[in-house]
Amino acid sequence: MRTASDAVGQESSATHRAYLALRRMIVVGELQPGEKLKIDRLRTLLDTGASPVREALSLLTSDLLVERLDQRGFRAAETSRENFVEILTLRCELEEMALRQSIANADEAWEDALVLSHHKMVREGRGDLEAFEERHKAFHMALLSNCHSPILMKFCSQLYDLNIRYRYLAGKALDYQKRDVSTEHAAILEAAVDHDADLASERLLNHYRQTGAFLNGLFSNPGSQDV
């Protein structure tokens, strides 16, 4: 019983919709770390069947956003400082690798797409946080997208999602309001279009490490968020 009107979403499949919805809910923290994910509750929440939910949870398990317990169902992945540090470290390693390859393969089409994604991110502004985060990820992925290594891209994308989850958990991307990340983004973009791999890598990694150090501090006194 599906009307022709919602055929516009070219990705029409209950499983895929459930996957996107659940991933979003986990990333932004609507589903808390360690929270039990009961099929029946999610089934009613997403208004779909049990099969799509199970399949989506299986996929999220491979993304490390969901953990599968022996025969006891699923739960949202736990968080920990060790996990956070691991993600940050791997992200720095893999993204530097991808960025350098991207720059080595630089061509006009890539640079155009890169500038465009940066522009879209700037234009979006901070009005809608989730929309901005979408653009933000698009920009960072665009930096790497010319590495011609789909597997590496997949890894970077996964690590990005794992990381952004910590940002949300720390309190609605608090860091953005204190630091001037716009300047950092512009600087990274500039170095990339100049094909300066060393400078671009250095700026990208500093970008991550500053955010990382900030978030890492929150593990000690998580009550310091006052807005």
CB of 189 to its own copies, least distance (A): 25
Q: Taking every pair of C-alpha atoms in the chain, what is the biggest distance, in angstroms?
A: 56
Q: Is 155 in the site for its own copies (CB under 8 A)?
A: yes
Q: Which of 7, 8, 151, 227 touches its own copies (CB under 8 A)?
A: 151
CA distances from 138 to 14, 36, 40, 120 (A): 25, 31, 33, 9
CB of 36 to DNA, least distance (A): 7
Q: Is 36 in the site for DNA (CB under 7 A)?
A: yes
Phi and psi at 46, nearest 5°, equal -95, -5
Give the distance, in angstroms, between the CA of residue 105 and the centroid of all CA atoms in the same chain: 24
Which residues 6+ apart lie within 8 Å of 162 measured at CB? 64, 65, 87
Q: Is 209 in the site for DNA (CB under 7 A)?
A: no
Which residues 6+ apart lie within 8 Å of 182 measured at CB? 122
CA–CA separation, 178 and 10 (whole Å): 39
Which is nearer to DNA, 37 or 87 (by Cβ)?
Answer: 37
Contact letters (x/-) for DNA, 85-124, by CB under 7 A?
A: ----------------------------------------
Q: Is 54 in the site for its own copies (CB under 8 A)?
A: yes
Q: Which stretch binds its own copies (CB under 8 A): 48-56, 111-119, 190-198, 215-223?
A: 48-56
Q: Using an 8 Å Cβ cutoff, are 83 and 64 in contact?
A: no
Neighbours of 143 (CB within 10 A): 25
Q: Which stretch binds DNA (CB under 7 A): 8-16, 108-116, 144-152, 195-203?
A: 8-16
CA–CA separation, 92 and 151 (whole Å): 16
Q: Is 51 in the site for its own copies (CB under 8 A)?
A: yes
Q: Restricting to residues 50-79, which ones interact with DNA according to CB under 7 A?
A: 50-52, 54-55, 68-74
One-letter amino acid at 131 equals A
Q: Which of 39, 45, 97, 187 touches its own copies (CB under 8 A)?
A: 97
Which is nearer to DNA, 37 or 142 (by Cβ)?
Answer: 37
| Binding stretches for DNA (CB under 7 A) | 1-2, 12-15, 36-40, 48-52, 54-55, 68-74
